[in-house]
Structure 1
Amino acid sequence: MGPANISAGNLQLIVPNLHRRYSGVTATNRMVAPKLAKMFRSAWLGPNAPDGIARIGFADLLRLRRRPTPVIWHARRNNEMIVGVLLRSLGWPLKLVFTSAAQRHHSWITRWLIGRMDAIIATSAISASFLKRKATVILHGVDTDSYAPPVDRASAFAEAGLPGRYAIGCFGRVRAQKGTDVFVDAMCRLLPRYPDFTAVVVGAITPEQQGFANDLKRRIEAAGLTSRILMTGELPIEEVPRWYQRLTIYAFTSRNEGFGLTLIEAMSAGNALVASRAGAAEVVVEDGVTGVLTPPGDVDALVAALEPLMRDPKAAAAMGERARAQVLEKFSLDAEANKIAAVYRDLSIPQKPIAR
């Protein structure tokens, strides 16, 4: 059952993660779920469970069917909403909550499912604007202890064995939606001018994106930069924070995004940030202070925003310090968890801290 003693009789919250591939949704779930588990008797259903929360399997759900008190089922994907609606129709005493990050009009099935939820959370006001019902806006938080600046960034960089003295990174699955091509094209123009920098692309290359990735590799080779633009592929979850610590600058290049968790991960790690105006960037980033905002998909604008920071790494470091301070003030996991807990309480699920 996992690290906590959870039984069907006292369970208050189920965190379903019905998606085998690791994704941004999984990452947000993994960070906030242990915080919620300190406030509610909680269990995680599905792969990629984090430490700090109990686990249950589908067989364990059978014990919940006829219990007298409700259990929160907090979905973040359509398939998780479908399972919750189905279970409740078959007699499970579930209160259904859905978190929406999408910044687009929803399909008919998503609208139908949303209409059957007991409460809706949106990760930004923009996401909320696409919903046809009332939603509580709760911005994501980040684990500021795990995603912390290194004691010595130069040593962290040296540990990776990369050429040069500084790193600039772009994290996320390698695909056009994430703007990986925008980043690579900008690096092909900038790196020849700044020999102290190495570029790092961290993220999975799925089979359907292999052609896209191969094209990027051809561009890198044509520019003579195969040793200075590193594509790591997918990394173990626990290794990602260290890669942020190796960066001086982070480029968020998404063309469209639900929230964009890497924004606040990079800021929390003290990276200078250049971000496209996608996802929550305009809410999270104070333009010119904690980062620089650019139009999505615009290579010229990305180059123009990155070059002053690459020219002056001390200025980049100062921006990273301001970004870290802003995350500590506004985007902590505790703040996110407390606001989610308030939504649960409104559904008559009492908060009962678990003795530790």
Structure 2
Amino acid sequence: MELQVPIDDILARDLRLIVPNLHRRYSGVTATNRMVAPKLARMYRAAWLGPHAPDGIARMGFVDLLKLWRRREPLIWHARRNDEMIAGALLRALGWPLRLVFTSAAQRHHKRLTRWLIRQMDAVIATSELSASFLKREATVVMHGVDTARYAPPPDRAAAFADSNLPGRYAIGCFGRVRAQKGTDVLVEAMCRLLPRYPDFTAVIVGAVVPEQQGFANSLKRQIEAAGLQSRIVITGELEIEEVQRWYQRLTIYAFTSRNEGFGLTLIEAMAAGAALVAARAGAAEFVVEDGVTGVLIPPGDADALVAGLEPLMRDPAAASAMGERARARVVEKFSLEAEANAIAAVYRKLG
């Protein structure tokens, strides 16, 4: 259980931004929120409400929130999920002086409740033009950013891979929960076909197996065992964020295999770490990846296409390294956390 550190009286008096995170389970939404919140806290007096608070921003508990009832100065409440929108709308109706902001990454038609909640917001941010097209109201597009200092290429990628104690010389990675939506089965099928031909490569799946997906994960493990690749297709389970960052630095190629995504933060994390990318056209992939330059775009859910995208890079690791360098440069130029935070702050300023 995380210790809630109450905000002090001075911060409470000057507070301008509340970043709610009302989910116990760590998710991609939480990860994106954790990265940008400390940057926003440098521009606004801000506090994080809920679990998984990052360093660099004050924490507040629900008792602290109660003390802000009927305060005169407005507060920005920046929600990223339905329950956070519901909480913000309810608190405002009960007397909290909130300006409600919602960030939407969904690339689908919203249900009736979500549409109603979105209409209650004072401002809406979409993480891509495609996400914005489903909102049916004015929205500002702000694409996610990544900490390019924390997610960075290693001084020596070969040495970083050697630290993993895995066989071979190069790694292909796919990060995220083990489930069909993430396309883990597509990666496993492609690896069962490719790894026997490329003995210098090992595949690494970094992500948790949640109980409801245990049957799916077990079927993948049986497929791996049948191919005799237990030592070369590794499922790590859930790891601390610092260890995930080290795994990015061990990769030569990153396979983004999701069938659908809101954004797909692992895209820019892997690119920032200098990995070549083979990416399904899901989430923000088409907006982030320059096909044939900083990565290769393929249809989602297509193992044949994944094999075709990966094999030239496995055949020529030097070409993969060069693609990874171009990918890193693109993220530094276009997808920094500073750019994301500045664009969000511009939305806040319009609220007064």
* Range of TM-score over shorter length: over 0.9
In structure 1, what is the equivalent of residue 137 of structure 2? 133
Which residue among 81, 87, 112 is the counterpart of 1:108? 112
Matches within 5 A, 1:186-335: 186-335=190-339
How far off is 1:133 after superposition? 0.5
Structure 1: which 5+ residue stretches go unaligned?
Answer: 349-356
Q: What is the aligned counterpart of 1:155 among 159, 165, 172?
A: 159
1:351 corresponding residue in structure 2: none
Counterpart position of 2:24: 20
CA distance in 2, matches of 1:22, 1:319: 31
State the distance in 1 between where 2:172 and 2:279 align: 13
- Taking the aligned partners of 1:203 and 1:83, their CA distance within structure 2 comes to 30
Which amino acid is 1:300 matched to? D
Quote the offset at 1:8 in angstroms: 2.2
Aligned partners of 1:9 and 1:67 also within 8 Å: no
> What is the CA-CA distance between 1:62 and the residue it aligns to?
1.1
Structure 2 partner of 1:60? 64
Q: 1:272-324 CA distances to partner (integer Å, 9 max, x unpaired)? A: 00000000000000000000000000000000000000011000000000000
Q: Please state how far the C-alpha of 1:67 moved relative to its aligned partner.
A: 1.0
CA distance in 1: counterparts of 2:162 and 2:138, whole angstroms: 50
* Contiguous gaps of at least 5 residues in structure 2: none
Distance 1:232 1:176 in 2: 17
**Residue 67 of structure 2 aligns to a residue in which SS?**
helix
Q: Which residue of 2 aligns with 1:49?
A: 53
Indicate conservation of the 8 Å contact 2:105/2:263, yes or no. Answer: yes
**Structure 1 residue 143 corresponds to structure 2 residue 147:** yes
Deviations 1:203-258 (A, max 9, x none): 11110000000000000001000010000011012211100000000000000100
CA distance in 2, matches of 1:11, 1:3: 13
Q: Provide the rounded CA distance (Å) in 1 between the counterparts of 2:174 and 2:219.
A: 17
Three-state SS of the structure 2 residue aligned to 1:115 is helix
User: Aligned-pair distance for 1:4?
Assistant: 7.7
Shift of 1:66: 1.5
| Deviation of 1:143 (Å) | 0.4
Name the amino acid aligned to 2:26. Answer: Y
Query: Residue 336 of structure 1: CA displacement?
Result: 0.3
Structure 1 residues 279, 208: CA separation in 2 closer, same or farther (over 3 Å shift)?
same
CA distance in 2, matches of 1:151, 1:4: 40
Q: Quick check: 1:174–1:209 contact (8 Å CA) kept in 2? A: yes
Length, aligned pairs only: 348
1:237 maps to a residue whose letter is I
Q: TM-score, normalization: structure 1?
A: 0.96
Q: Does 1:69 align with 2:55?
A: no
Q: Secondary structure at the match of 1:293?
A: strand
Question: Which letter does structure 1 place at the counterpart of 2:113?
Answer: I
Q: Match for 1:200: what amino acid?
A: V
Q: Deviations over 1:46-97 (max 9, x none)?
A: 1111100000001101111111111000000001001101101100000000
Name the SS of the counterpart of 1:64 in structure 2. coil
- 1:155-191 superposed Cα distances (whole Å, 9 cap, x missing partner): 1000010000000000001110000000010000000
Check whether the contact 1:2–1:53 (CA below 8 A) recurs between aligned residues: no
Residue 164 of structure 1 contacts residue 198 of structure 1 at CA under 8 Å; is this kept in 2?
A: yes
Q: Using the alignment, how far apart are the partners of 1:8 and 1:90 within structure 2?
A: 19
User: Does the CA-based 8 Å contact 1:3-1:53 persist in structure 2?
Assistant: no
Contact preservation (8 Å) 1:267, 1:323: yes
Q: How far does residue 132 in structure 1 lie from its aligned partner after superposition? A: 1.3
* Cα RMSD (Å): 1.0
TM-score, normalised relative to structure 2: 0.98
Structure 1 distance, partners of 2:310, 2:109, is 33
Q: Quote the Cα distance in structure 2 between the aligned partners of 1:270 and 1:126.
A: 26
